[in-house]
Chains A and B, each alone.
Chain A
Amino acid sequence: METMDQLMAKHPFFAGLAPEYLELLAGCARNYRFDAGEYLIREGDPADTFYLIRHGRVTLEIAAPGSAPVVISTLGESEIVGASWIVPPYRAEFDARAMDLTRAIGIDAKCLRGKCDADHHLGYEMMQRFLPIIVKRLHATRLQILDVYGSK
């Protein structure tokens, strides 16, 4: 049976992070399992967990009354779910739902924020990993908005 810090070390998000930090963060983390259709995150709920997908697939959705939820993007193995945990007021702005059986590491947001506050170097290590992903997703969303395949 792998320990939590070993499990975390295998996830690309934490690639290169010092073992002592992994150990520290492992204290905030636990394993999650979501069946297909189950929600990881619901819009409006407190953003209290940051997920690292180990396997499975997750959709980011927005639901509007009277119509089916719109899927903004799908996330899979080695990707992360959840950004609102780092931005006050720490409230989820999308639904995140498992498409297939999904296993993930969930890190308690309050605990994680506390550790980052206490050790800014750890906070910077987290930012260095987190921000590029968010920027890439922003770029991808811009491209998605362009509707490049439209027949104009």
Chain B
Amino acid sequence: MQRDSADTAGLVIDPLGLQALIERLASMGFRVVGPALRDDAVVYDDITGIGDLPQGWTDRQEPGRYRLERRQDDALFGYAVGPHSWKKFLFPPVETLWSARWDDKGGMAISPPETSQDKFAFIGVRGCELHAMAIQDRVLAEGDHANATYAARRQEAFIVAVNCGQAGGTCFCVSMETGPKVESGFDLALTELLDGGEHRFLVEIGSDAGAQVMEEVPSAPASAVQIEAAAAVVERTAGQMGRSLDTNGIKELLQGNLEHPRWDEVAERCLTCANCTMVCPTCFCTTVEDHSDLTNQSAERVRKWDSCFTMDFSYVHGGSVRSSTRSRYRQWMTHKLANWIDQFGTSGCVGCGRCVTWCPVGIDITEEAAAIRATPGGKGEA
């Protein structure tokens, strides 16, 4: 349950308090997931305490580039975002939908998978990521038909958000109005305070569940100075955006420029590797696979993340509708920034910059949108 921001009293905890929070959530039966260092990147994985967090590390991101660097301080959340997003937990990359077998009488028995559902607690969810979850809620849980397992996981998830203390080189959440400050959709929100020799976290309470959890975590009331310092952190981050995207009229701009020469230009660079769709926290496309045993006595149906960049994605009898790279990039970008608005009443982009960073050739969605804006209406015009 959400609470008014008016009664989100400021509390302050130190790193040990954060440790206590993590332990408390684990003891409540949550599977606690947070940032961790793996393979030279900050990823989201199971954590047991603050020792798992990427203390003193930050990430340097540019189109097609990501590398970790040491920070001057011991910040626990001193990075922007890595290649993972929380969708891999809420909306797993591979999920068995059901299995079927022939029964004794030659009938088909279809049964849902025997799975137990993890109850997640997420530590370190950014503003852009909260918005990404809200967008996936619209797509997967709030339409005429819902993805039931997603909806259940989402409902049970406990969210500890973090206000960003540092923007990445490919971030543009300010343009998309999704950050860096978290506004809603969290149980607790942290702002990491590192100035003045003390390592503290301002804690904002976003729900009754959040308030209850905090009752068991040692904390102190926040001072006016600390509240002000937290506001300054967010403000400073907002001023550091590595990228910007002009969203003014972008739906009409892109829908009206489906034959723009820029699509040919970007197609010369795009490898159709699908990285952008895999790292995107809102991309939701899936395919299904059917497996059966050798005698076809039993079978199962599996749902997997898919990408509009694959040839198979648009296959209709006879061939693929979108066989060119141009058409597949155009589909992805116009869907993300324009058609999504028609479909779900919101942009599909949250400005996290992952697609820019993790593109092996550094294609920058903000640059592509700007290029079309610079010469709109181009139908082969010079």
Provide the bound-state CA to CA distance between A152 and B317, in Å: 8
User: What 1/0 flags go to B307-334 for Cβ under 8 Å of A?
Assistant: 0000000000111000000000000000
Count of residues in A whose CB is under 8 Å from the partner chain: 1
CB nearest neighbor in A for B317 = A152
Main secondary structure of the interface of A (DSSP, over half): loop
Chain A residues lying within 8 Å of B317, measured Cβ to Cβ, are 152
- Specify which chain B residues have a CB less than 8 angstroms from the CB of A152 in the assembled complex: 317-319
Q: Which residues of A contact B318 (CB under 8 A)?
A: 152
In the bound complex, CA of A152 to CA of B318 (Å): 6
Contact with A along B280-320 (1 / 0, CB 8 A): 00000000000000000000000000000000000001110
- Chain B facing A: main interface SS: loop
CB distance from A134 to the nearest CB of B (A): 30
Q: Identify the closest chain A residue to B318 (Cβ).
A: A152
Closest to B319 in A: A152
B319 to chain A, nearest CB (A): 8
Minimum C-beta distance from A148 to chain B (A): 11
B65: min CB distance to chain A, Å = 44
A89 to B294, CA, bound (A): 70
In the bound complex, what is the Cα–Cα distance between A152 and B316 (angstroms)? Answer: 12
Per the bound structure, the CA–CA distance linking A40 and B124 in Å amounts to 85
Within 8 A of B (CB), among A91-125: none
Complex: A130 Cα to B319 Cα, angstroms: 39
Residue on B with the closest CB to A150? B318
Q: Distance (Å) between the CB of A135 and the closest chain B CB? A: 24
Closest-by-CB residue of B relative to A152 is: B318
Give a binary string over B61-72; 1 marks a CB under 8 Å from any A CB, 0 the rest.
000000000000
The minimal Cβ–Cβ distance linking A130 to chain B, given in whole angstroms, is 33
**Smallest CB separation, B141 vs chain A (Å):** 39
Minimum CB–CB distance for A146 against chain B, Å: 12
Query: Residue-by-residue, is A127-152 near B (CB-CB < 8 Å gives 1, otherwise 0)?
Result: 00000000000000000000000001
Listed from nearest, the 3 A-B pairs whose CB atoms lie closest are A152-B318, A152-B317, A152-B319
A–B Cβ pairs within 8 angstroms, 3 of them: A152-B317, A152-B318, A152-B319
